[in-house]
Structure 1
Amino acid sequence: MTIICKGEELILSKERAIYWAAQKMLIISDLHIGKSAHFRKHGIQVPAGIGDSDLQRLAGLIDLYDPQTLLITGDMFHHKSNSEVTAFSEWRKRFSKLKFLLIKGNHDQLSPLEYASLNIELIQKELSCTPFRFIHETPESTDASYPISGHIHPGVTLYGKARQRLTFPCFYFGENYAVLPAFSAFTGLSKIQPQKNDRFYAITPSGVIAV
């Protein structure tokens, strides 16, 4: 689905990403590389291969849009280096010419040397790219720029005629800021209390729909 936000055309992908064609920029949030390996290390049994599936989806988006920049608005990694981070380093070589920008999230705990070795430019707080300001957590205050964040993994509930109720990840565009869905499939969902003029775009198996 293509929308206009602050005069800019944004493509909302059902793979939980935004493509900003004017900047040749692919934008995602909360990839959480290494999360399943981190859980297994601590004795929590979760399926293997989740991280591989996420990277396959990301590779598909890169092949589709051919961006110059991949921007991750925080939590690209879930914790410290583990086997999934090692696998990512091999995956990264496939896209060695693609610029990776990471706005540091609360889970991003790799060392500066590790980010450098992965050819990832780390941004400590936020990135201004008029008319937007990219940041990890929802800002406490707003200014002339329009913040786009991640962190909370937004979801929206849809209701059917027979009282069916299904909750899907979503893109949220409010009056003062927007929130990206978590890119990783291995995340929970947080419902946002809607306000007047808010726009929600649910990510269903068939595509992105306006709610």
Structure 2
Amino acid sequence: MQIITKNIFCKEEELTLTNQRVFYWKRKETLVLSDLHIGKSAHFRKHGIPIPDNVLKKDLNRLKQLIIYFNPKTVIVVGDLFHAEFNSDIETFKIWILEFKNINFELIIGNHDRLSADLYMDLNIKIYRPNKIEDNLCFVHDNIKIDENYFTVSGHTHPGVLIKGKAKQKIKLPCFQVTNNQLILPAFSLFTGLNTSNCPENCINYAFTDAAIFTI
């Protein structure tokens, strides 16, 4: 897995975007991601849709490599860590998270995070509802209204861009959407669609591939 980075400044805070769907806040030693949707693949299999059982394992392996690379003290998930009811994928995550007992895991509750508070406690994940404010940044799952006093970090919309080439060729790529007051994270899980129709006003799209990050 190749990790490509690009530093940007938001409200005087330096944030390191990556082509692996996360950003790193170096000053706070914090890794930030959104929409992991643990349990989604098992949920589909339960309802007769043949989704491979290694989908989650690939996502968690990518996250593990990012944790090793950045060595954060804290990992913040801005919503939809989980997808549905308790299922076998969550058991897989329980085993995975035990590798990182020295890291603080925090979750901003998203619309899919419907599991019991006891489970979060059992996993040693600190939860926030509806947001977490730290210095100049406000972490929330779905950014409905901008607070001019903070730079808002959110997820939920699974942003992407549609790039048109010659001969009617088209390609969709995930992206970070950044304005003067907000950053919308791409969905971390590879088992998600891309929303190319929702773009905030005056937005810069930082799209990425396996080998590059570029501005659109």
Same fold by TM-score, threshold 0.5 exceeded? yes
* Matching residue of 2:97: 92
Q: 2:205 aligned with 1:195, yes or no?
A: no
Q: 2:41 aligned with 1:18, yes or no?
A: no
TM-score by structure 2 length? 0.93
Number of aligned pairs? 210
Q: Aligned in 2, Cα 1:49/1:142: closer, same or farther, shift over 3 Å?
A: same
Alpha-carbon distance between aligned partners in 2 of 1:3 and 1:163, rounded to the nearest angstrom: 33
- Indicate conservation of the 8 Å contact 1:139/1:147, yes or no: no
RMSD, aligned CA: 1.3
Q: Which runs of 5 or more structure 1 residues have no equivalent in the other structure?
A: none
Note the C-alpha offset of 1:146. 1.3
1:146-205: per-residue Cα shift (whole Å, max 9, x none)?
111000100011233454221111000023322100000000111223533x21100212
1:16-37: per-residue Cα shift (whole Å, max 9, x none)?
0000000000000000011000
* Matching residue of 1:101: 106
Alpha-carbon distance between aligned partners in 1 of 2:200 and 2:136, rounded to the nearest angstrom: 23
TM-score by structure 1 length? 0.95
Per the alignment, in what secondary structure is the counterpart of residue 190 of structure 1?
coil
* Matching residue of 2:78: 73
Alpha-carbon distance between aligned partners in 1 of 2:115 and 2:156, rounded to the nearest angstrom: 18
* Matching residue of 2:116: 111
Alpha-carbon distance between aligned partners in 2 of 1:85 and 1:38, rounded to the nearest angstrom: 11
Following superposition of structure 1 onto structure 2, how do residues 125-204 of structure 1 map, counting pairs within 5 Å?
A: 125-191=130-196, 192-193=198-199, 195-196=201-202, 198-204=203-209
Alpha-carbon distance between aligned partners in 2 of 1:129 and 1:207, rounded to the nearest angstrom: 30
Alpha-carbon distance between aligned partners in 2 of 1:33 and 1:86, rounded to the nearest angstrom: 10
Moved over 2 A (4+): 139-143, 159-164, 192-196
Alpha-carbon distance between aligned partners in 1 of 2:167 and 2:116, rounded to the nearest angstrom: 52
* Matching residue of 2:14: 9
- Indicate conservation of the 8 Å contact 1:80/1:108, yes or no: no
From 57, 65, 86, give the equivalent of 2:62.
57
- Indicate conservation of the 8 Å contact 2:175/2:208, yes or no: yes
Amino acid at match of 1:42: H
Q: Which runs of 5 or more structure 2 residues have no equivalent in the other structure?
A: 1-5
